[in-house]
Amino acid sequence: MSIKDDLPTVTVVDYGTGNRGSVASMVRRAGARTVLATTPEDVLTADRVVLPGVGAFDSAAGALWRSGLAEPVIEVARTGKVPVLGLCVGMQLLADGSEEGDLPGLGLVPGHVRRLDSQCDEPPDRIPHMGWAHVVPRVRDELLAAILEPRFYFAHSFRCICDSDDDVVATARYGCQFPAVVRRGRLWGAQFHPEKSGRNGLQLLRNFVAA
């Protein structure tokens, strides 16, 4: 058996949209093999699952539901047997839905997605939020372990509003404070792009590979 065969495997959900290629490349740099999941069986037999996403909520949600991959993602996340990580719009898809569209999310992290300037005491001057921002942990979490100065790259116009504060691991601020990392059991969501976040993003993915 080669050393490469001993590497952990991360399955990246390929539902025809999102930044799956750049995410898979960064995961490999983090020390794992990658598989692009195109069938339900690919997801159901995975050791670790990453749900990427870019663009509008309805576009991503529609592609995910049409691909037939939404149900297996829900199944593996709810069993809690394997780690699952949603990135950017992939995190927003974990919620019940979004005011950006009409389609349902996966309903894995109860809550709704709102515009960054919605219900905000200090609305940001510009939307979208694009660039680096500090992330403030609320609790100790293995996904952020060994990251001494949590600073990541964001590109978004919407924020998740969780029904339960217990689901919020870390926050960031752009006008308003918003959840930057959420967690339920072995399911995580990160609003930022670790694949664009240099060494911090690499460390976060290493932590996920080791989870």
Distance in angstroms (rounded) separating the CA atoms of residues 67 and 142: 31
Q: Which of 41, 88, 120, 160 is catalytic?
A: 88
Q: Which of 156, 160, 162, 193 is catalytic?
A: 193
Distance in angstroms (rounded) separating the CA atoms of residues 195 and 72: 24
Instruction: Assess if CATH 3.40.50.880 describes domain 4-210.
Output: yes
Contact 205, 8 (CB under 8 A): no
- pLDDT at residue 59 in the model: 96
Distance in angstroms (rounded) separating the CA atoms of residues 190 and 26: 15
In terms of Cα–Cα distance, which of 41, 47, 38 is closest to 13? 38
* Secondary element (H or E) of residue 180: strand 176-184
Q: Which of 100, 160, 176, 195 is catalytic?
A: 195
Distance in angstroms (rounded) separating the CA atoms of residues 66 and 17: 12
- pLDDT at residue 159 in the model: 97
In terms of Cα–Cα distance, which of 112, 110, 88, 106 is closest to 43? 106
Domain ranges of the chain: 4-210
Question: What are the two backbone dihedrals, phi and then psi, of residue 207, each rounded to the nearest 5 degrees?
Answer: -60, -40
Residue 120 designated active-site: no
- pLDDT at residue 18 in the model: 77
Residue 129 designated active-site: no
Distance in angstroms (rounded) separating the CA atoms of residues 144 and 148: 9
* Residue position matching structure tokens 């978004």: 156
- Six token digits for residue 20: 């799956």
- CA of residue 150 relative to chain centroid, distance: 16
- CA of residue 63 relative to chain centroid, distance: 16
- pLDDT at residue 98 in the model: 98
The model carries a pTM of: 0.96
Tally Cβ neighbours within 10 Å of residue 155.
15
Q: Block means of pLDDT (10 residues each) for the chain, length 211 residues?
A: 72 92 97 98 98 95 97 98 97 98 97 94 92 98 97 97 98 96 98 98 98 95
Residue 195 designated active-site: yes
- pLDDT at residue 3 in the model: 44
Contact 158, 124 (CB under 8 A): no
Length, in residues, of the chain = 211
Distance in angstroms (rounded) separating the CA atoms of residues 157 and 141: 26
- pLDDT at residue 2 in the model: 44
